[in-house]
Structure 1
């Protein structure tokens, strides 16, 4: 099957949606599908275009068997509400020529990764022109997050944005998200429940696993063996509620046996470092290379996962899968009934969001109980091995796509008309040669 994936973020980004989009594309390609991706140059979570890439030019490359077409992208150095919208809009506009180019390729299925929904009109037009099945996969409810987290504040704009969002969602043949609650939210926005699919994020348990010896980071950071490490690793942004960790570190400053390690980058990092000024129990690391991720996650005695209370079921932290796979104890901040609570509570410790004192209490109990840390770490690891396989998610995706096809009397694959078309007889798909690496994007 020819599958086009359209999304802002992609490898070599190490965190967030880009990581999972790239892994999905590579997995689909490894299973015999012909996969192309339209994306932006890597910039996240640093909010600057990576070295070796230019924000202003189109680029074609082949990475891990997947053909990538990158479109220009404006990246603000200090992202705010309006700047974020302009940032997303720049990609939605600049990527349109690439979509037109891919229409000549005539994909069988086209998947848009949200954010950003600003790309939805272009994707739907491509699907209509090529009779491809249109799929929307939501990693992040950007409209709800923008207003609920205060990034944008106009109530009138919120009503308009949510009306437009609902209208776009209902035009896709399938809408998926990464948790049961986030998938249910799509139905609450008007999507027919029969079109809603849950495609959870995953982790490669062969790449992330418990080490039998202490992490090399302990030696590099001069952390003694008896010291307990409380680790936060990932994007440091507005949705994380990271300031609660700084408050917890301050409240635990008199515990000489505890060290907080903050690893990552993002828009809120400067503020976090300012909050931790003068705290000798805090260390900071930049985002580490992927090949060192397992060593980094094994540095933790206790993983901490903050989340703002008003972000409940708008996002699901992608870092959680690696935390479980590392076999270390996890403390998360989540409200009862949310997807994050349901994931962590049976195999970790959950405390209320934005409550530094409750977080301190949980860290203190775990720091003083090595046996409980080990049991929770083992439970998280077993869950990752049992439930977070990438193959199971990809199979769900493939099985659902197969519903958009039927077999004619000659046994050839035939596309059915996407639901937002007027019904008409479906033509037999003509055999086409696979794309070659020499095919390039329009300059």
Structure 2
């Protein structure tokens, strides 16, 4: 028997690992197909064998596993639910009800977002995407094609399969999830999710009106572009960062034929896109300039945001976070969020050792990331530096308000490659900002232009310490900068303000006659 025949028999006889959608024949016959996750459909079934290996595997073996997974196209194959398979599926989707033939109910346009990170991940990109999708669900039928969370806030979610939450249909795909410490493991993670998303879009019966690709991982615009071209869907490339520029800028990779080829392929996806959305003017300038040379007419600048209802200023004397962590009357200089290579937090720790650093100031690093262990080792037993883990999102108002001064730091070489999303939570909390960034960045221009705090150039520990000393010596200006921060957050960077702008941008791409692709 041929390999194709064997695969056909296996697909027909075994319960599907990922029940997604009704087949067109089933839908035409009027059968109701229900959807559920693979862990419920066949709980005894184990994940593909490469994914059952323990963490800490050496990088040579990870590389071999990656090659095997990418070569064997059977891994990660997604199936549509058939009427036969439906017998083992139970519904995570709200029930459907018959509609009288004489009732004309308009169908909402459908939009699919592609991004590895989504709820319940605590990472900022996942939280922001969840906000956006929930708000868009008022005007669109929203689907999210996502992967496994790196830092889940709960274990109560469908790990592999489909569920509906807050009006958003979530399709969570299988992929590898090796620790970030392994270079080959990280490469395998991003490649395997991109591969899984590609296979999902090739097999799904859904026909989306719009497909929006984010950049976790950065290969996703290539996946989305193929789907959009095949189905005539509108394509939006929504860039939280610009690769391979970021990797080249911080020295993770050297400019070579490989990065040039990757840039050419990504450029082809951006050229095909109906809109390319970036977070700031500095990112737009980079993409319009050579070597990207993207058409300015398709560019849109939409910043990230914060929820000013859930994050509100709390007076320091009444803040339970400060009390719990014994911060007392210290000047708290906080960095909250990811601790990665692009922040250069090692220089900030160096600043605490200079003579200019105030004696009553403490640097509080809240979060996690690839370089946290190195930072802990660097800080040693210094009483000027403390570390705390990520805080629950519902407690961000307390934690962000506990600072007197927030640090937002950018590597000197990544100007125009990204815009830090942590800025907007800080503004919502009504706190002053120390922007450690190039003057050409949106970050530095926002802080200086609206008098939200202080700026200083990256890589200069003495200048950072001097800025902290200046802020610590002027409590009145700290308070004024915080009030201005809250005002601009409400006016420009509040969640409903920005998500409505995103919705309007998507509606611009839809046909004016109300027709849509269907699903």
Tell me which residue corresponds to 2:120. Answer: 12
CA contact (8 A) 1:334 1:350 kept: yes
Q: TM-score, normalised by structure 1?
A: 0.86
Gaps spanning 5+ residues in structure 2: where? 1-108
Q: Secondary structure at the match of 1:309?
A: coil
CA contact (8 A) 1:230 1:260 kept: yes
Gaps spanning 5+ residues in structure 1: where? 416-428, 433-443
Provide closer, same or farther for how the CA distance between residues 65 and 402 of structure 1 changes in structure 2, counting only shifts above 3 A. Answer: closer
Provide closer, same or farther for how the CA distance between residues 53 and 396 of structure 1 changes in structure 2, counting only shifts above 3 A. Answer: same
Please list, as runs of the form range in 1=range in 2, the aligned pairs for 1:49-128 lying within 5 A after superposition: 52=155, 58-79=160-181, 82-102=184-204, 104-128=205-229
Provide closer, same or farther for how the CA distance between residues 52 and 207 of structure 1 changes in structure 2, counting only shifts above 3 A. Answer: closer
Tell me which residue corresponds to 2:498. Answer: 393
Alpha-carbon offset, residue 100 of structure 1: 3.2
Distance 1:320 1:231 in 2: 12
Whichever of the two has the greater Rg, that structure is 2
Tell me which residue corresponds to 2:474. Answer: 369
1:82-111 residue CA offsets vs partner (Å, 9 max, x unmatched): 543332111001223332354x22111110
Distance 1:252 1:385 in 2: 38
CA contact (8 A) 1:4 1:37 kept: yes
Distance 1:323 1:51 in 2: 25
Q: TM-score, normalised by structure 2?
A: 0.74
Q: Quick check: 1:306 aligned with 2:378?
A: no
Match of 1:170 among 257, 271, 278: 271
Larger displacement relative to structure 2 (129-138 or 208-217): 208-217
Match of 1:287 among 376, 387, 390: 390
CA contact (8 A) 2:222 2:266 kept: no
1:231-259 residue CA offsets vs partner (Å, 9 max, x unmatched): 11101111111111211122269744212
Distance 1:33 1:252 in 2: 56
Tell me which residue corresponds to 1:33. Answer: 140
Give 4+ residue runs of structure 1 displaced > 6 Å after superposition.
none
Distance 1:320 1:252 in 2: 28
- Structure with the bigger RCO (C-alpha within 8 Å, sep 6+) is 1
Provide closer, same or farther for how the CA distance between residues 367 and 61 of structure 1 changes in structure 2, counting only shifts above 3 A. Answer: same
Distance 1:164 1:53 in 2: 38
Please list, as runs of the form range in 1=range in 2, the aligned pairs for 1:280-359 lying within 5 A after superposition: 280-346=383-449, 347-359=452-464
Tell me which residue corresponds to 1:419. Answer: none
CA contact (8 A) 2:330 2:361 kept: yes
1:359-401 residue CA offsets vs partner (Å, 9 max, x unmatched): 1000001111110101111111111111113333233333333
Tell me which residue corresponds to 1:220. Answer: 324
Provide closer, same or farther for how the CA distance between residues 75 and 239 of structure 1 changes in structure 2, counting only shifts above 3 A. Answer: farther
Match of 1:2 among 106, 110, 124: 110
CA contact (8 A) 2:322 2:402 kept: yes
Distance 1:84 1:142 in 2: 15
Larger displacement relative to structure 2 (362-371 or 241-250): 241-250
Distance 2:385 2:432 in 1: 19
CA contact (8 A) 1:203 1:325 kept: yes
Larger displacement relative to structure 2 (270-279 or 164-173): 164-173
> How many pairs does the alignment contain?
406
Tell me which residue corresponds to 2:150. Answer: 43
Alpha-carbon offset, residue 202 of structure 1: 1.0
Q: Secondary structure at the match of 2:334?
A: strand
Tell me which residue corresponds to 1:248. Answer: 351
